[in-house]
Chains A and B, each alone.
Chain A
Amino acid sequence: MRHLRAALLRITGFFTGNRAESDLLDELQSHVDMETAENIRRGMRPDEARRQAMLASGGLTQAAEAVRAQRGLPWIESMAADIRYGLRALRHSPAFTTVVVLTLALGIGANTAIFSVVRAVLLKPLPHKDGDRLVYLRQSRDGPDGANIAFSVPEVRDFRTGAPSLGGIAEYSPYSFTLQSDNDAVRIDAGLVTGNYFEVMGLAPVLGRLTLASDDGAGVPPVMVLTYDYWKRRFGGDSGIVGRQLRLSGSSVTVIGVLQPAPFFPDRIDVLLNMVISPHHVSAQMVEGRTHRMTEMVARLGPGASLQQARNEVATVYQRLQSEYKDAYDPGSHPRVAVISFKEALGERARLTLGLLMAAAAFVMIISAANVVNLTLMRGVRRAQELVVRAALGAGGRRLRRLLLVENLMLSFMGAILGGLIAVGSVRLLIPLASRYSPRANEIHLDVAVLGFTFALSIVIALLLSYAASLPREGSYASWISAGLGRVSGSLKKQRVQRGLVVAQVAVSVVLLAGAGLLTRTMIRLSEVDTGLRTEEVLTLEVSLLELRTLFDPQAQVAAKQGYDRMLREIKALPGVIEVGLGSTVPLKSSSIQLPVKAEGKALDVGEAIPRAEFRTANPDYYRAAGIPLIKGREFSSTDQEGSGRVVIVNQVLVDQFFPHEDPLGKRIAWTGDILRFTPFSGDWRTIVGVVGNTQDGGLDAEPRPVMFMPFTQELAFSGGLVIRADSNVAGLTDAVTRIVRSIAPTAPIENVLTVAQIKDQSVSPRRLNAALVSSFGLLAVLIAAVGIAGVLAFSVSARTNEIGIRMSLGADGGRVQRMILMEGGVLLALGLVLGVAGAFFAARVIQGLLFGIAPHDPITLIGVALLMAAIGIVACWIPALRAARIDPAITMRA
């Protein structure tokens, strides 16, 4: 009660300070008067009496201050005073304030932006209920297409019974449909899911319902659930969507619900359907075929089960399967199953790139913080006089420290606010980058956690700045003042910190620059990669004239082939078009079909991986249109028809693999393996009639894969890729070509309308973005470091003005002084360079995975980077050195 009353009075005292203030001064004055009177009564002279009274008081100002502290809320009051004072001080040194705020803003902005991406993509808990219990299973094997080969239904069944740690297994098969409306047809990516899928994944609907066990099996109507993003994008978040019928590849499907926002892996999905839409998926072939791997698995760990337990159980089951079903596993290609947390799987492609960017941003932060510390130290020295006077007037060490803290907090908050604005802008730039690597890119926001990160960062910086500065110690004021403040300033200890910081700045800049250099050269190397096409004036597009339902319908096949013929004729008639080719897939894009191959008379060695090749079809004009060189033999001709002898054209990689020292022409090869049962392709022997050059179908940085081309007319026309070569400006043909295709196939999706230059760019651009980001961080770092060197040297020069004056009056000329200062900077620079190159050596090894066509410790890059840094550093040293050389000894000595 007593304390409450006191607290209330203190709060009122805080607001009603003024009247009490005059009251207080009156009271103290009356005390002095009474004591003076008493002293006089004791016989002192009046002036002596007053002096003694004042001495006894211990200082009226201090007393008043102590009472004020008791009266109101001193902490807030003095804080307000500190803020007012700090603002005034910062206003008085606008250059310092601007440089510090800008430097901090760049560092904080870069870090906030990158952190917001890292948080959304790697750190944030999954939106799934108990998302950390979800695990992703991946079956893979060696070879170009082996990174993820999915599972077959029997395999899923075996894991379900053999691995009890997996409490539930959600299965889905990636699938694609054409969504048809009256005037449009677009491809959509779908997942065919089992009824337990959503329950296992822990996902809930935002509208309607999700699929259930009752939606499984054959005799049920097809239903679909829209993903949240697709619902927003395609239907504008229409709340009346549930119950609508949509046409998917010729079937009518009811929308039963909209799913909560959630990331999908490994594919992005627009809609999810029950299996019945694809008769194949509910057929015995699919359900019983052990090598028919079309299913992705996400499992939920059972209660109490650990990831390690699940791994052990899965490994045991997998080992048993391999020994039990020898035909289904090729030991030569080392088949394996990995069990990883689903969250980790979602972030795995982004991890390296984001790690790189986060490190680069952190480096920029280190450099800018170092710079700001240096600037503050130098300003602190110039302010020493002011601080000493304040201390002498009664401000204690803690009070001074708090003053500095308030000032630095203001600086760093201003930096944080500006940095936040920078982050808002750069996050928008980063989202497209992130969405290439992560399905969670749409979760990137500058939310409370990110802003908290920024806030914490700025507080750490302010603390660092406040405690880096040394304050005059109590009891040393007199020596400070009598020594003449200017002389104490160049204290060696402080300079050692500053010099250390400069060395660190240079070193970190070199590391960043080296990273930037390596990534830039990677990008250049990549864009120089030969695509395998002899021309760039090529437009490609994909259009499928067959729907799933009609794929095996002979009449539809004939109609589709006639449709493609018409397209070829009409496009060829367009002005400027030189050649039009047709194949199952366009060049520079990998075929989704990869099958095992065998060559006649060639047996595999024991333990050798079964070779595989891409399945492609092509018409006679395909190679000429695409500019793929014919190395041997002939192209397809119009006589290679359905029913005539089976012929095949292969690429050079396949020849090198099967017939390294023989003439491949006339040799026979065939598709093989159990998997053929599930495909419409025959395992008949086919005679090689031609060899074509390799093309970079898996991307510019991937090894070309073996390819077998079949004549377009001899296989199902399951998809169609048009290849159009023009004499110039092929991009200008896009509209005319699209119009022709649309008029012939009004309900077919037209996809990937791209020129070869654009396809190439798709492969290069993520690298370009990486390189550009790291390069801009690197340049920023160098710039800040240069300012740092110049600043420290300039400070050193001004602190040594006297000394330089004496040297010059003793006969040193300008040149010698200049060399002296240059030397001083040069030592720091050289030290930083050595440390930086060493650091770059290690850092480069970490980012090796992001490099292409260049060694991580590429000497040209390292030397170039070191030279660049040295050049910039020397320029930065030169300016203060010149100033030192111009010092007039007469003026400095007199001062």
Chain B
Amino acid sequence: MAEKLDVKQGTLALMILKTLEVLGPLHGYGVARRIEETSKNRLTLNYGTLYPALLKLEQEGLVTAEWGQSENNRRAKFYALTAAGRKQLAREAREWHQTADLIAAFLAPRRGAP
């Protein structure tokens, strides 16, 4: 089994936003499952990490929350991306790519003498 990773501070918000963009309005359970699946179970999310993050996004106006019915008729709170959330997602994704490129360049084995 692959090594379990802790969710890095700041990356969770990005994952949540992306999940909501891909899957549309979704409850906390769904978000957690999706993130765990996407990470091939290398990430585990406990509630104490997930729900404060969701609340923070809601407070920042990037997502909205509303009670609704789940697929198997359970009452659940659904989170949906707002316009601001979409914009924020685009910006953070871009920044993340840039950072990732940068880090990759740094960590790559050096070619030739400096």
Contacts and interface: CB of A to CB of B under 8 A. Distances in A.
A30 B77 contact: yes
Centre residue among A23, A24, A34, A58 by max chain B CB count within 10 A: A34
Contacts of A6: 56, 59-60
A65 B77 CA distance: 19
Contact of B76 (A2, A5, A24, A34): A34
Interface string A445-488: 00000000000000000000000000000000000000000000
Interface string A1-34: 0110110011001000000000110111011011
B60 A2 contact: yes
For this complex, into which size category does the number of interface residues on chain A fall? 20 to 34
B60 A58 contact: no
Interface in A54-75: 56-60, 62-63, 65-67, 69-71
Contacts, number: 81
A34 B70 CA distance: 9
Q: How large is the interface on B (under 10, 10 to 19, 20 to 34, 35 or more residues)?
A: 20 to 34
Contact of B59 (A5, A30, A60): A5
A63 B28 CA distance: 13
A2 B74 CA distance: 32
Given A27-B28, A34-B76, A37-B72, A59 B48 contact: yes
A69 B84 CA distance: 24
B59 to A, nearest CB: 4
A71 B55 contact: yes
Contacts of B33: 38
Given A5-B60, A37-B72, A70 B28 contact: no
B18 interface: no
B74 A62 contact: no
B96 interface: no
Interface in B60-82: 60-62, 70, 72, 74-77
B52 A60 contact: no
Contact of A67 (B32, B52, B88): B52
B63 to A, nearest CB: 12
Interface SS of chain A: helix
Contacts of B55: 67, 70-71
B100 to A, nearest CB: 23
A56 B44 CA distance: 8
A13 B61 CA distance: 15
Contact of B49 (A27, A65, A66): A66
Nearest to A65: B48
Given A2-B60, A30-B29, A70-B52, A63 B46 contact: yes
Interface in A540-585: none
Interface in B32-59: 32-33, 44, 46-49, 51-52, 55-56, 59
A656 to B, nearest CB: 91
Nearest to A5: B61
Contacts of B74: 30, 33-34, 37
B1 to A, nearest CB: 16
Give the interface centre of A28, A30, A69 by most chain B CB atoms within 10 Å: A30
A216 interface: no
Contact of A66 (B29, B32, B52, B84): B52
A60 B51 CA distance: 11
Contacts of B77: 23, 26-27, 30
Nearest to A4: B60
Contact of B47 (A5, A38, A60): A60
B29 A63 contact: no
B56 A70 contact: yes
A544 B62 CA distance: 94
Nearest to B53: A70
Interface in A95-120: none
Nearest to B70: A34
Given A30-B76, A33-B74, A34-B29, A66 B51 contact: yes
Contacts of B51: 24, 27-28, 63, 66-67
A165 B6 CA distance: 72
Nearest to B54: A67
A30 to B, nearest CB: 5
Contacts of A27: 28, 51, 76-77
B29 A3 contact: no
Contacts of B29: 30-31, 34-35
Contacts of B27: 30-31, 34
B56 A56 contact: no
Given A30-B70, A31-B28, A33-B74, 14 more contacts: A2-B61, A5-B59, A6-B56, A24-B51, A26-B77, A28-B51, A30-B77, A34-B27, A38-B33, A57-B46, A58-B47, A63-B46, A66-B49, A70-B52
- 8 nearest interchain CB pairs? A58-B46, A63-B47, A70-B52, A66-B48, A63-B48, A6-B59, A34-B29, A9-B59
24 contacts: A2-B60, A2-B88, A3-B60, A5-B59, A5-B61, A6-B56, A6-B59, A10-B59, A13-B59, A27-B28, A30-B29, A30-B76, A30-B77, A31-B27, A31-B29, A33-B74, A34-B29, A34-B76, A60-B47, A62-B48, A63-B46, A66-B48, A67-B52, A69-B52
Interface of B: 27-29, 32-33, 44, 46-49, 51-52, 55-56, 59-62, 70, 72, 74-77, 84, 88
